[in-house]
Each structure stands twice: as C-alpha cells, then as structure tokens.
Structure 1
Amino acid sequence: MLLAASKRMLARLLLVTAAVTAVSCGSDDARSAFVVGAGDSVESRVLAEIYAGALARTGLTVAVLPQLGARPDYLAALDAGRIGLIGEHSGELLAYLDSATTARTPQQVTVALNRALPEGIVVADPADGTDMRPRVLLPAEVADREDLRSIADIGPRCGEWEAGIATAPDILRASSAPLSINGCAFAGKRPLPDAAALRNALLDGSSPVGVLSGPPALTPGAADGLAILTDEDYALPAQNVLPIFRKGMLDDRRLEKLNYVAGELTTEDLVDLILKVRAGTSPATAARDWLDEHAL
C-alpha cells in the first residue's frame, strides 16, 4: 500500500463524485468507467484529459476525477483503486517512492522506477520529448562574459553563491526533498515568490544564480535577459511525463495508445496547453484539440 486514505482525501472524493458522473453517459457508464485521476495542478488536469481522451478513442468508457490533491493524496487514490491512472513526472515519482535513489538519466530513472513501484502498479513509456526538470538561470551578461553555458560549467562556483529559488506555476509539485544538483552545492538558498521575482533578483544582482522549478515559458518573459543553463549530464534527475496505472486494467491496444501519446507529447506542447487552460480554455477542449492535431 502506498498510503492509507486520509480524511482530506475522503472529503475531496465526496466533492468530485458529481464530476465523474457528469462525464459519462449515464449512471451505468459512471460505474463501469475507467477513471483517470488528476491532482490540483493545471498540468495534472491537462494530462488526465489527454490520457482519458486517448483511451476513449479506443472505445473505452472513461471518466476524469479531478482535484485529488497533492502526490500523497492521488497516489493513495490509485493504490486504493478509486482511480485507474494518473499522469506523473518520472524523477519526482521515483524520489517519492525511493528517497535514496541515485538515478539521474532518463534510462536510469525508468529502470529504478519500475523496480520501486508497488505491486500491482505499473507505468507506460515516458514521453521523451518532455523535460520538466528545474532550470538553472544566470544573467545573460554574466553567462556570456564568463562563458558559462551548462550546470557543469558552474560547478566550481556553486559553493560561492546563494541561489534564488522559485516555483514554476501550474505544474506538478516537486517532492518535499531538498533541491539536489549533482556536482553543484550552493552556499545557500533564497526562496522567492515567483518566476518574475527570480528574474528581478538575477538582473539586479541580489541573487547571482537562480533555480526555477520548471520551464520558464510557463511565465512569459521570465527568462528575458537570462541564460538557461543546459544539463546534458543530468545534474538534475530526469523528469519526463508518464502515466502510472493499475496493472491489468488496460489491454495491449490501449497501452499502445498511451505509448503513441508518449511519442508525440513535448515540453512545448505541455506548456502551450497549460497556458491555454490558464487563459480560459477547458482542459478537455485543449486536450481534444491536441489529440486531433496529432491524429491520436
């Protein structure tokens, strides 16, 4: 068992029962539907609608159960069988299940994750085109002057710098474990309220380096005047999007459909979908349009 269901979890389930029923054709469909869950973030709801929409196109009766809370809550729902599938980030899920993991590359994370999953829970292929890792940022002027292009380049300097830290909006939240960057131990960390505050701190020099928990494009303009350091060596563990689900509930045709989604979904797509939902498009409509565009 991952976790026992909490009182908070039960309360949420009561609140969203109507939402599950509403997406089905009738009460019989609601009871027989394969339920795709979503946490509280926009990203989680978008992923739920993508997976649900893709599975529905195979003829499966599907419902989406939203607002399941944070990782402990929705994994408890999956473990208890209240939902059959939910979208995740590979590295964060692995760290949640195995806090001692040292896996970093996509392949290492996938192998370690499959070993760490509880009995009866499996994952499909990760979307290799998605990269939801934190981004390390420098003022562009500093990066150009000192020829700093990658996280590896700043390794010798990390011990001299206090890093500004900010959370990217509307994405799956990282685990509660402290930020760990292989080969880069900052002298300190300064929490900042958002990506805009992080950009200002970098440009005015109050923070010499910054870490944003996801793609800067989620906050348009957040990287203006900044350099985003590359991380080809995976100093930060891989964070690819993938579905986690209950074993034996999906046949080969439906698993293949999930893997087709994995082959098409990119970071840019996911950011665009999140921005559309933030602007007022419903998650179901945004997901349906994306599936249509990719002939899924």
Structure 2
Amino acid sequence: MLLAASRRVLARVLIVAAASAVVSCGNDDSGPAFVVGAGDAIESRVLAEVYAGALARTGLKVAVQPELGQRADYLAALDAGRVALVGEHSGALLGFFDSGSAARTPSAVIEDLNRSLPEGLVVSDPADGTDLRPRVLVTAEAARRDDLDSVAELVPRCAELHAGLAPAPDALRGPGAKPVTGCDFADETPLPDVAALRNALLDNSVQAGVVGGPSALTTSATEGLTVLADSEYALRAENVIPVFRKGLLDDQRIRKLNYVAGELTTDELVEMIRRVRDGAAAGEVARAWLDNHGL
C-alpha cells in the first residue's frame, strides 16, 4: 500500500514537472509561461494541446499541465490561477456555474454562460462546428416500428420507457443534470459503457439509451441502433469553448482562439481523440491539426 501511494505521489510530481516543458514559437520568452490545463479525459488533453499550440504560434510562451482530474478539479485550478485556460463544453460549463439555467440552444447557452461566469473568467467564441451533446439511441427495429426519427417524437412516450445511461469514452462528461428536457423516463439505469448499453437495448432491458457524447466515438458499439435527431435541442447545446482568466490574453491572441473555433468540427475532434486513444501523442496530433488548418 505504501509503495502504491509513493508511486501515485511520484506520478503527480512528474506531471507537475512535465508542465514546465514549454512550447514557444516567438519572442515572448521572458516571464512565466501561460499554462493551459487539462483534465483526465483524452478530449481535455487534445483541446489543451490545440489551444496551447495555437497560442504558442503567436509568440506566447505556453505550457500544458495535464491530468488535473475532473471538471471541479481543473476549474478550481483555473479559479486559483494555477492554470490560465482550459477547454470545455458550453452547456456543461453553464450547468456547473448555473444549474438552474433553462437555456438549451447554442446562442441561449452562451448568453447565460456569460452571465454566470465568476468574476475574472471569460470565454471566447464557441466552436459552432462541434456538437458534443449526448445522443439518444433506440434499436433500429424500434425506430422502424414506432416511426421514430427524432428526440421530440420520443418525448411523449418517455414515461413508458426504461432508459440506460452510458458515458462516451474519452470525452468530457456532463454535470449529471437531467439529459433530455421534457422527458421523464420510467426509470434510468447507469451502465458502465456503450457496449453494455447496446446489449441492454437489444435484449429490451431498456427501451431508450442516452450516451454522453457523439456516437462516432463508439461506432462499433452502436451497430443495430438508431441515433435520434435533435434539431429542437431537447438536449442542451454542447459546443467546445475555451474558458480563461481575464486580462491575460490580448486581442490578437483571443482572435487566434476564435480562429480555432471557426475551424474545429465534431468529426475532426473525434478523430484526434481516436488517434490519441490509439497511442499517438496529443501534442503531435494537435500540431498536425493546426498545420492542416493554417493556424
């Protein structure tokens, strides 16, 4: 037990030491680095490397500090000034700071988010090309039988349905709020992963499933299932967005973050997550993406 504890302490020390490795592409080499933080999820590390790489190309001295834990942990590090920026999802961030907000659409979420952020924190543009909302699944057979294409068509039937809830692998997780507006399932069963959810749907243990992110992250585990469309935002908007400490970035560097927002898409983010999951270094994956987009 003592040996295991010592190894955990050593791992934390090495993480902090690694954060001092600075990426810089310009003249601002004096003074402390601008530290971009990342939580434990692969997606969080990918976003940190993308933002850090983009800012480094403006001449800012930048470091990435990974493995900061879950949302509450890395947002506490941001609030305390131990890191200067983290990548987030707009809806989940709003839910963290204002659990009572009823905003669902992308514009309404951003409006409420800007009102709810603590003093000293700001966001730049969300990546409109990303959609990290949970996905609602039914079996392909049920979709055909009941003529179901959308979440809106499912909502009136929610009280009759048993639902399974599963996380999306390697993605940032939501705050645990009710996932589907207007939908009160007969009961909700947490499941460990999408494979377990698929099995439960196919054997009719549950009749609806909610996956906490894009189904593209779990393509093989959703065979035989139908992803219901959600054009009416029964599930709250979740766009990638950077949140950072006010006053640390000038207009040029905020514009750089906005350029990143204008280029990033769900498919590209999923592909970067998959590559890191398969063993690629997050920094190299982010660098390739930035190069491909001229950023």
Q: TM-score, normalised by structure 2?
A: 0.92
Q: Deviations over 1:133-186 (max 9, x none)?
A: 110001112112221011100111100001011111111122133x23112111
2:228 matches 1:259:
no
Give, in whole Å, the separation in 1 of the partners of 2:161 and 2:142: 13
What does 1:18-167 correspond to in 2, within 5 Å?
A: 18-23=17-22, 32-167=32-167
What displacement does 1:193 show? 1.4
Name the CA shift for 1:270/1:284 in 2 (closer, same or farther; >3 Å). same
Give, in whole Å, the separation in 2 of the partners of 1:273 and 1:203: 30
Name the CA shift for 1:30/1:280 in 2 (closer, same or farther; >3 Å). farther
Counterpart AA for 1:91: G
What displacement does 1:14 show? 4.5
The 8 Å contact of residues 52 and 62 in structure 2, kept in 1 or not, is answered as yes
2:205 matches 1:209:
no
Consecutive unaligned residues in structure 1, runs of 5 or more = 1-9
Q: Alignment identity in percent? A: 62
Look up the match of 1:176.
176
Consecutive unaligned residues in structure 2, runs of 5 or more = 1-8
* Structure 1: 4+ residue segments shifted above 4 A: 10-15, 28-31
The 8 Å contact of residues 162 and 205 in structure 2, kept in 1 or not, is answered as no
Name the CA shift for 1:212/1:180 in 2 (closer, same or farther; >3 Å). closer
Q: SS of the residue aligned with 1:73?
A: helix
The 8 Å contact of residues 20 and 30 in structure 1, kept in 2 or not, is answered as no
Give, in whole Å, the separation in 1 of the partners of 2:293 and 2:172: 24
Give, in whole Å, the separation in 1 of the partners of 2:200 and 2:113: 36
What displacement does 1:233 show? 0.8
Q: SS of the residue aligned with 2:18?
A: helix
What displacement does 1:226 show? 0.9
The 8 Å contact of residues 12 and 68 in structure 1, kept in 2 or not, is answered as no
Look up the match of 1:16.
15
What displacement does 1:13 show? 6.7
Name the CA shift for 1:190/1:256 in 2 (closer, same or farther; >3 Å). same
Q: SS of the residue aligned with 2:63?
A: strand
The 8 Å contact of residues 152 and 183 in structure 1, kept in 2 or not, is answered as no
Q: SS of the residue aligned with 1:180?
A: coil
The 8 Å contact of residues 22 and 61 in structure 2, kept in 1 or not, is answered as no
What displacement does 1:249 show? 0.7
Give, in whole Å, the separation in 2 of the partners of 1:176 and 1:192: 14
Q: Deviations over 1:183-232 (max 9, x none)?
A: 21111001211111111111222211111111122123122111100111
Counterpart AA for 1:33: A
- Compare 91-100 and 212-221 and name the one that shifted more: 212-221
What displacement does 1:73 show? 1.1
Counterpart AA for 1:253: Q
Name the CA shift for 1:76/1:12 in 2 (closer, same or farther; >3 Å). farther
Give, in whole Å, the separation in 1 of the partners of 2:132 and 2:219: 16
Q: TM-score, normalised by structure 1?
A: 0.92
Q: SS of the residue aligned with 1:158?
A: helix
What displacement does 1:267 show? 0.8
